[in-house]
C-alpha cells in the first residue's frame, strides 16, 4: 500500500475534507477509490470526507496497490532522482517506454516495476513524459495518481540533438503536426495538424553537421524529428524522417535535462543526464568538439 502524507496549511483551516482533497487535485474518482479500497487518516485516525480539517493537521492517503503493474524484470536503468512521489529514470536508446501488444518485456515500465518492488510496492507505470524507442534520456515517472495529475504537462525538458546541415544560431519552428494518413506511426507537417512549436539553440556547426539544444512548447509525437526534417535538417541516424547513418544506429536525440516542481513539497527539482556514449562516439568520429561551456 502506497501512503501519501500531506499537511493542512493555515489558509486551509476549517475546510471540509472533501473540498480540501479537491483543492489538491485529488479527483472524485480517486477519493472514491480511497474510501472503498484504501484509507484516509486525519491525525492518525480514519475519517470520512465530511470531516473538518485544521491548520497543521496531517492527512494520510493510503492507496491500495495497483492491480496491473508491468512485470518486474532485472533490467538496469539508472535512476538519477528519487523521492516518495516521483523518480527520474535515464532511458537508454532502443528501449521502448511502454509494453505493447507484441512486446511485453524489456521496456522501461518493466524496469520501473522492479524498482518499485525493491521499495516494497506494486505500482502502475505513470510516465509523465515519453520518449521514442530510439531516443535516449530522462523520463519522469510519478509514483502515485496525485503526483501524476500535478505533473502532467508541467515538466520542462531540454534535448540535445545532432542534425545534418547548418542550422541557424537560434530558431523557432511553429508548424502543425498530424499522423500521416497511410501510416500508423509516421507524422508529418500539415495545415490540419495539431499546433506544434519547437525552439532550438545551435551550439556547434561545421557546415555539414550541427549540434543543438532544443526545448518544446508542445509535446507532439516525433515533434523534434518531424520539425527538423521539415526544415531541411534531419537528425543524424533518423531512418524514418531522414536516412541511415553508418556509425549511429538510431536518431541522435537525447533528453538532456528536466525541471519540475515537486508535486507535494513545491521544491524545484532539476535533473541532468550525461551525453550517451553512442552520440559522444559519433561526435568524436566526426572530429566534433563542443566548447567546455556547452552541455555534454
**pLDDT on residue 149:** 84
pLDDT higher than 70, residue 5: yes
pLDDT of residue 2: 73
Q: Is the pLDDT of residue 216 over 70?
A: yes
Average pLDDT of span 173-198? 95
Distances (CA, A) of 30 to 64, 88, 149: 11, 24, 11
Looking at residue 37, its pLDDT comes to: 67
What per-residue confidence (pLDDT) applies to 33? Answer: 77
**According to the model, what pLDDT value does residue 294 have?**
61
Burial 33-47 (b: 16+ CB within 10 A, else e): ebeeebebbbeeeee
Q: Which of 65-79, 189-203, 260-274 has the lowest mean pLDDT?
A: 65-79
Which residue out of 57, 66, 90, 132 is catalytically annotated?
132
**Residue-wise pLDDT tens digits, 27-58:** 787 888 787 766 899 998 988 889 999 999 99
- Give how far the C-alpha of residue 184 lies from the chain's centroid of Cα atoms, to the nearest Å: 22
pLDDT at 101 over 80: no
The pLDDT-based confidence of 206 (bands split at 50, 70, 90) is very high
User: What are the two backbone dihedrals, phi and then psi, of residue 279, each rounded to the nearest 5 degrees?
Assistant: -70, -40
The length of the chain, given as a count of residues: 296
Percent of the chain past pLDDT 70, that is, above it, reads 96
- Calculate mean pLDDT across residues 106-133: 92
As given in the structure block, the three cell numbers for residue 7 are: 499537511
Residue 286 has pLDDT above 60, yes or no: yes
Q: Can you give the pLDDT at residue 293?
A: 57
- For residues 3 and 14, which has the higher predicted lDDT (pLDDT)? 14
Q: Helical H runs in the chain? A: 17-23, 28-37, 108-118, 145-151, 223-230, 277-285
The architecture (CATH level 2) of 2-63 comes to Roll (3.10)
CA 259 to chain centre: 10
The larger pLDDT score, comparing residue 203 to residue 64, is at 203
Which residues have a Cβ under 8 Å from the Cβ of 267 and sit 6 or more positions away?
A: 261
Residue 154, C-alpha cell as written in the block:
508541467
Model confidence at 296: pLDDT above 70? no
Q: Where are the domains of the chain?
A: 2-63, 156-256+277-285
| CA–CA distance, 95 with 185 (Å, rounded to integer) | 17
Beta bridge partners, 164, equal 209
**CATH class for domain 156-256+277-285?**
alpha beta
Q: What's the angle, vertex CA 77, arms to CA 65 and CA 248, rounded to 5? A: 140
Q: What is the pLDDT of residue 28?
A: 81
Average pLDDT of the segment spanning 113-121: 90
| pLDDT(208) > 90 | yes
pLDDT at 193: 96
- State phi, psi for 51 to the nearest 5 degrees: -65, 155
Contacts 24+ apart (CB under 8 A), 122-126: 122/65, 122/66, 122/69, 123/2, 123/65, 123/66, 123/69, 124/66, 124/68, 124/69, 125/69, 125/70, 125/98
pLDDT band at 67 (very low <50, low <70, confident <90, very high): low
Q: Do domains 2-63 and 156-256+277-285 have the same CATH topology?
A: no
Average pLDDT over residues 233-242: 97
% of the chain at pLDDT higher than 90? 70
Q: What is the C-alpha separation between 109 and 151, in angstroms, rounded?
A: 18
Give the per-residue pLDDT at 26.
81
Q: What is the pLDDT of residue 99?
A: 84
What is the average pLDDT score of the chain? 92
DSSP bridge pairs for 18? none
For residue 132, indicate whether it is catalytic: yes
Per-residue confidence (pLDDT) for residue 100, from 0 to 100: 79
Amino acid at each position: 500500500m502506497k501512503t501519501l502524507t500531506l499537511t493542512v496549511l493555515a489558509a486551509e483551516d476549517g475546510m471540509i475534507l472533501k473540498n480540501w482533497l479537491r483543492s489538491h487535485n485529488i479527483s472524485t474518482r480517486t477519493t472514491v477509490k480511497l474510501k472503498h479500497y484504501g484509507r484516509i487518516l486525519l491525525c492518525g485516525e480514519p475519517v470520512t470526507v465530511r470531516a473538518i480539517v485544521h491548520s497543521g493537521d496531517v492527512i494520510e492517503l493510503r492507496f491500495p496497490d495497483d492491480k496491473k503493474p508491468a512485470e518486474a524484470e532485472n533490467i538496469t536503468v539508472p535512476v538519477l532522482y528519487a523521492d516518495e512521489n516521483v523518480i527520474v529514470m535515464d532511458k537508454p536508446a532502443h528501449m521502448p517506454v511502454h509494453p505493447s501488444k507484441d512486446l511485453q518485456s524489456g521496456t522501461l515500465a518493466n524496469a520501473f516495476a522492479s524498482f518499485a518492488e525493491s521499495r516494497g510496492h506494486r505500482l502502475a507505470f505513470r510516465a509523465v513524459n515519453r520518449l521514442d524507442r530510439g531516443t535516449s534520456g530522462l523520463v519522469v515517472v510519478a509514483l502515485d495518481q496525485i503526483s501524476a495529475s500535478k505533473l502532467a504537462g508541467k515538466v520542462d525538458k531540454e534535448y540535445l540533438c545532432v542534425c545534418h546541415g547548418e542550422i541557424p544560431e537560434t530558431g523557432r519552428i511553429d508548424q502543425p503536426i498530424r499522423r500521416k494518413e497511410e501510416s500508423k506511426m509516421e507524422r508529418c507537417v500539415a495545415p490540419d495538424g495539431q499546433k506544434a512549436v519547437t525552439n532550438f539553440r545551435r551550439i556547434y556547426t561545421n557546415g555539414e553537421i550541427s549540434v543543438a539544444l532544443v526545448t518544446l512548447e508542445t509535446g507532439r509525437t516525433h515533434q523534434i524529428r518531424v520539425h527538423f526534417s521539415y526544415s531541411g535538417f534531419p537528425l543524424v541516424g533518423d531512418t524514418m524522417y531522414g536516412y541511415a547513418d553508418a556509425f549511429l544506429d538510431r536518431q541522435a536525440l537525447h533528453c538532456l535535462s528536466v525541471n519540475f516542481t515537486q508535486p507535494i513539497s513545491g521544491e524545484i527539482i532539476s535533473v541532468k543526464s550525461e551525453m550517451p556514449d553512442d552520440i559522444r562516439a559519433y561526435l568524436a568520429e566526426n572530429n566534433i568538439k563542443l566548447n567546455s561551456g556547452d552541455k555534454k
